[in-house]
Amino acid sequence: MPRWILFAVLVAGAVVFLMFRARTLSTRSQQAHQAVEQGALLLDVRTPEEFASGHIQGAVNIPVDQLAQRAKELPSGKAGIVIYCRSGNRSRRAEHILRDKGFDNLIDLGPMSAW
């Protein structure tokens, strides 16, 4: 197969992936906004220093490495919890930690930029 065809296939695949990812983030963002409007807690799982340098208004900061010990500070009601961090890795970890602690109404927003 000529290299230009392989390159074209790779570029097309990357474009489709990025379009799907953008759509997923947009849907997640809409769900997160709606949940917060309905009373969900906005949870920032970055470090205190990152939180101090800027965060989403109304967010509560509990770093992911403290989350298991501090989970009892979080509401367990129907309103739920929207979790975010810088890139999406820590929010995914936080979601797993909270599910293991019995929380089930969770939205992993991923990166703060998705807000």
Q: Which residues are identified as catalytic?
A: 85
The pairing of beta strand 41-44 with beta strand 60-61: parallel
Residue 108: name the closest of 100, 39, 94 by CA.
94
Coil vs helix vs strand at 82: strand
CA 45, CA 81: separation in Å to the nearest integer? 12
Sign of the C-alpha dihedral, residues 75, 33, 66, 91?
A: positive
